[in-house]
Amino acid sequence: MTRCFDCGAERISDQCPACGLTSAAAELVFRRRLVNRTAVFLVGSLAFPYVSQIYPPLDLDLMLVFFGLLFFVALTLAIILDRRARNRQELEVLKRIYSGFIPLPWMLAALLFLNGRLDNPKNIVYHPTTVENRFYQRGLLRVSRRLLVDGWRAGQKIERLPVDADDFDRFQDGDAVLAGVEPGAIGIPWYYGIYRR
């Protein structure tokens, strides 16, 4: 006998002694909740790239890789959970792991937002650097435009600055530029703007 899909209580008969749901009813309730939670996760997954356009972290590409991984694992978990619920297989552990994933994109988005929003424009530092290369990629939801400039951080040979279409077209390889960077209120440096030297 598996635990109740709804309340997690141990079940000895088809009807749960704790919440009174039959296994069929509990499956229905669980799968409906799974859809709702997945929707919350998906909306959060849009919030993160949105905020990252307003206050783009210098390590945006690294963060997007991490975020893509998170997205993939969470959706895989949702699919497995749904399948296991249909087959009336034990869900307790996976259910808890999945619950942990739901707020993550919201937390990441909030973190990035506060990092930029609470920063002081007086903190902008302008790093003299040179455009080495330009990078353009059309993705599923949006277009990535990066200016690759010589790095100034320790151990960072190159910085991939997430620029808008105007700045992308305005600069060429070899241009001497100033990259404006803010330190971030919680220590995540983010890209402010790029200017001609």
Applying CB under 5 A, the residues found at the interface with Zn ion are 4, 6-7, 9, 16, 18-19
Distance between CA 72 and CA 52 in Å, rounded?
19
Q: Cβ closer to Zn ion: 9 or 47? A: 9
What whole-number distance in Å separates Cα of residue 151 and Cα of residue 127? 9
Closest approach of Cβ 80 to Zn ion, in Å?
21
Q: Residue 195 and residue 170: Cα distance in Å, rounded? A: 10
Residue 26 in 3-state DSSP?
helix
Q: With contact defined as beta carbons under 8 Å apart, do 171 and 131 qualify?
A: yes
Closer CB to Zn ion, residue 18 or residue 125? Answer: 18
CB of 42 to Zn ion, least distance (A): 27
Shorter beta-carbon distance to Zn ion: residue 8 or 193: 8
Compute the least distance from the CB of residue 39 to Zn ion, in Å. 23
- 17: which DSSP letter? T
Beta carbon of residue 40, minimum distance to Zn ion (angstroms, whole number): 23
Closest CB to Zn ion among residues 88, 142: 88
Strand arrangement of the beta sheet that strand 158-162 belongs to: 158-162, 143-150, 125-138, 176-182, 190-196
